[in-house]
Amino acid sequence: MTVSADPAAAIPGAEGVLDTTGRRLLADLVSTPSHSGDESAAAHRLAGFFEEHDREAWIDEAGNVRAPGDDAVLLTSHVDTVPGEIPVRVEDGDDELGAVGPVLWGRGSVDATGALAAMAVAAVETGASFVGVVGEETDSRGARHLIEDREAPAAVINGEPSGWDAITLGYRGIVAGEYAVTTPAGHGARPEATAIDHATAWWERVRAAVEAANADEAPGGFDTITATAASVDGGPTDDGTAVAASMATRFRVPPSETPDSVRAVVEDCLDAGEIAWGQSIPPHVASARGPLPAALRTAIREAGGEPTHLHKTGTADANLYADAWDVPTVTYGPGDASLDHAPDERLPLAAFDRASAVLTTACAQLTD
């Protein structure tokens, strides 16, 4: 698919580079701010792409872009990005990435607008079903709505950066919890523990318990629990009668655990205060066997690559789809995942082109 005019006038360094509709869509989406909760402009641009190619598309009540098609495979990635402004531009080559040719800089280029645009191209070419979901970087509200609002497809390719020649088979899950404790106000010379003391002591116990649970695994690996304090607040209450402390926490859940088993580890560390649990996402590990990963491997080889399989320590919407629909689910997309959320996020356009070709070849096989 090509376009007759150069769409690069507003992007430094892009003259003569955005010479396919896929590259143009990618650049347009990366140039459109789409932080979680503010995805509307990017969603409308994405829906317009399908309409331009005579595909039915609409934006549902959650904000997802829906383009129904052949449900032998559902292509889905997220429209939203994390905050952070990166000037959109094209640079020639990148020694760090080992890339020759144009490289597109901008927030979302890797996570996961590259995958999103490549999937849109493949869906138009092959007739595969497509959904661009919102809120993946926060509460996965788009994916949760999708699960409740449509029938399960036969298979899912979820869009996240794996590198154009790799397939992600597994992600850890996640559990979120908000710890809170309050103690009566007292003079600073008194020996009694305050809410802040209780909160810090609780977190030290949690970290020790997690370390013990991980004792037989390599530190920080796919098969470990990870405990992260996302934010901490504490001090006298407004009326001065008490001291309050709170901590927002996140726990990554390996395949050997469940959200419930991780909650139990954390709750066993309580001796004051309480923890309110939020939504959770279970871990997911897909089989490397079957038509879905085989189609992607074949397509990668046809594009000149040697496919590999990945297990990633983060969490993705793929976990939700696999758990709710119980269908083969893998994750694929261009880009170096080490650049997720980074201030130097960027994507070689050659990798984007190859990922678009891989997805098109794989979907043609799966929908045949």
Between 196 and 9, where is the model more confident? Answer: 196
pLDDT at position 91, please?
Answer: 97
- Residue 307 sits in the same domain as residue 249: no
- pTM, 2 dp: 0.92
Which pLDDT tens digit goes with each residue over 86-125?
Answer: 999 999 999 999 999 999 999 999 999 999 999 999 999 9
Once rounded to an integer, what is the mean pLDDT over residues 324-335? 98
287/226 same-domain check = no
**For residue 136, pLDDT beyond 90:** yes
| Total structural domains within the chain | 2
* 161 and 310 share one domain: yes
For the residues 65-75, what does the mean pLDDT come to?
Answer: 98
Residue 2 lies in a domain: no
What's the chain's average pLDDT? Answer: 94
Same domain, 259 and 120: no
Query: Is the pLDDT assigned to residue 190 strictly greater than 80?
Result: no
Q: Which pLDDT band holds residue 8 (cuts at 50, 70, 90)?
A: low
In a domain, 1, yes or no: no
Residue 8 lies in a domain: no
User: 12 lies in a domain?
Assistant: no
Task: Determine the pLDDT at residue 172.
Answer: 97
Say if 323 falls within a structural domain: yes
User: 183 in helix, strand or coil?
Assistant: strand
User: What pLDDT score was predicted for residue 185?
Assistant: 84
Same domain, 215 and 247: yes
Are 82 and 153 contained in the same domain? yes
What is the percent of the chain where pLDDT is above 90? 92
Residue where one domain finishes, among candidates 230, 254, 280: 280
Domain boundary among 280, 303, 336: 280
Catalytic site residues? 80, 136
Do 132 and 209 reside in the same domain of the chain? no
Query: Do 298 and 225 reside in the same domain of the chain?
Result: no
What is the Cα Rg of the chain in Å?
23
Show which of 280, 300, 317 is a domain's final residue.
280
Instruction: Verify that 348 and 261 share a domain, yes or no.
Output: no
- 55 lies in the same domain as 71: yes
pLDDT band (50, 70, 90) for residue 192: confident
- With respect to residue 7, please indicate whether it lies within any of the assigned structural domains: no
CATH number at 335 reads: 3.40.630.10
Residues 362 and 309 placed together within one structural domain of the fold: yes
Domain that holds residue 317: 21-172+283-367
Residue at 15 is within a domain:
no
